[in-house]
Structures are given as structure tokens and as C-alpha cells.
Structure 1
Amino acid sequence: MFTHVTVGANDIEASRQFYDAALGALGVDPGQGPDPKGRYWWRTPRGAFAVGAPIDGEPACHANGGTIGFAAQTPEMVQAFHDAGVAAGGRAIEDPPGERQGPFGTLVLAYLRDPSGNKICAMHRVG
């Protein structure tokens, strides 16, 4: 459904280091860039994710109620995403990483705030 997601950042280098670590734990290659607009891009065969300063020149801010979810191939990758993200300047939020039961079955989830406050998550669908 999505081709790409872009989030704003006030400290591009801190965000690049954070996403290289967190997404690297999910098997994603390091971000490429900066592009002509100063953004870094992480690409997979299924889509792309970018971090950059807002084009309008205003400070970056996070979406209240927004979450960006990244697919994890294994439950261990979810934990690795969490650990790498925290070590690279992210902040753990919500429940600790682990299994959750819900209307969509069993999921393994980990939630973080990136250095600019964006809410992200790694998710592995069990079964």
C-alpha cells in the first residue's frame, strides 16, 4: 500500500545513526544520502523510509497518535531493534518488547521514540 514514509528530524546525524542501528537490526542496509534536500533514505524491495529536515524550514515535530511500524522477520529481531535503537539515542516507550494478543492474532512488538520524538515500532506476526 505504501511506497515510502518520511519523518522530520531536527538533528539529521543523530537520526541517521539511530535508524542505521535500529533498522540495521532488522536487516536493512544503512541509509543512503544525503539527497539534494538533505534527506537520508533506507530502501528495501517493498518500500523506502526517509529522515530529513522539514522542507518548509520549520522545526520537525512528531505526530501525536502516529506510529510507523517496521516488519521484523523474527521475534529476536524485534528485541534487537529495540536494543539497538535505545543504544543509539532512542527512548523505550509503552510496554517492554514482547508478545501481545489482540484481534489480529499474536504479535511481537517493540515501541521506541526516535531522537526527534517520532513513534516507531518493530512487529513480528507469529504464525
Structure 2
Amino acid sequence: MISYITVGADDIPRAKRFYSAFLPALGYELVEGQEGLSYELPELHDEPAVLPAFYVKPPFDGRPASVGNGAMVAFHARSQQEVRELHSAALAANGRDEGQPGFRDAYGPHFYVGYLRDPQGNKIALYSNNPDEPGRDG
């Protein structure tokens, strides 16, 4: 089970603008600290927090943050419309388009995804895989 994911960032205010454009809509709550940003899903009815948490922090070694080639973090949206809306919001918050929302031939018929780069260059996916919505073939 994945407990948390961390991406590096050199400009925390810029990263906050980008991630706050879509993570709260997916249920994440932001906690800011000296060490950076912590986006966590809230505890429900005295149950442990839902995993994984997502952290945006400067590298602990003090060197510049860098992007992992082939690394990507994917966030699940409730619908194709939400993927489009959150992709657009992230672009407006200094994100870069890495692939407009839509279906991809390599994935299942209901897998609807949009790709972005955050201000540091980390690759982010927003996707929905709702079988109750129209699929790629229909």
C-alpha cells in the first residue's frame, strides 16, 4: 500500500498555486508547514486518514529539485467532465499541457485522461475510468 508520494519543488508558492487549482476538488486538504505543502485526504468518522498523502517539498539535500524521467503521479477524478475542468484549472495555475483530456488507444475504453507538468516539471495525470459514462468506442 502506498502511504505517501513526494515531489520536489524549488518554488513552493508557485507549486501551491498549481496543486491547489485541482487537489481540493478531489477532496485533498492542504496543510502548510516550514518543510513545504502536505495535501491529505481527511479522516472520516474516527477512521485513519485515507492514503496516499501527497507532499510538495524542497529536496532535503538542499540541491535543486529535479524531475524523474518516467515518473508520474495520477489523481482519480469522478468524471470525464471533472478531468476537463481540473486540467483547465491546473493550466491556468502555471501548469503545462502534456496531453489534452481524452481517450487513449493504449488504455481501456472508459479510461479518460489528461496529462500536465507542474511548474517544476513533474508529470501529473488526471483521469476517470467511469463505466457509466460514454466510452472511447461509443
- TM-score for the superposition, normalised by structure 2: 0.82
User: Paired residue for 2:114?
Assistant: 110
| Structure 1 letter corresponding to 2:61 | D
Equivalent position to 1:121, from 122, 125, 128 = 125
The higher radius of gyration belongs to 2
Q: Give 1:80 shift.
A: 1.4
RMSD: 1.5
User: Paired residue for 1:21?
Assistant: 21
Contact 2:110–2:129 (8 Å) recurs in 1:
yes
Contact 1:9–1:52 (8 Å) recurs in 2:
yes
Asked if 1:7 corresponds to 2:7, the answer is yes
Please give the per-residue CA displacement for 1:28-68, whole angstroms capped at 9, x wherever unaligned: 33x2111x4x1211111232001010000000011111111
| Structure 1 letter corresponding to 2:38 | W
User: Paired residue for 1:32?
Assistant: 31
Which runs of no fewer than 5 residues in structure 1 stay unpaired?
none
Q: Give 1:103 shift.
A: 4.7
Which runs of no fewer than 5 residues in structure 2 stay unpaired?
42-49, 132-138
* Pairs aligned (count): 123
Contact 1:8–1:61 (8 Å) recurs in 2:
yes
| Structure 1 letter corresponding to 2:8 | G
Q: Give 1:76 shift.
A: 1.2
What SS does structure 2 have at the residue aligned with 1:15?
A: helix
Equivalent position to 2:92, from 84, 87, 102 = 87
Distance 1:71 1:58, change over 3 A: same
Asked if 1:43 corresponds to 2:40, the answer is yes
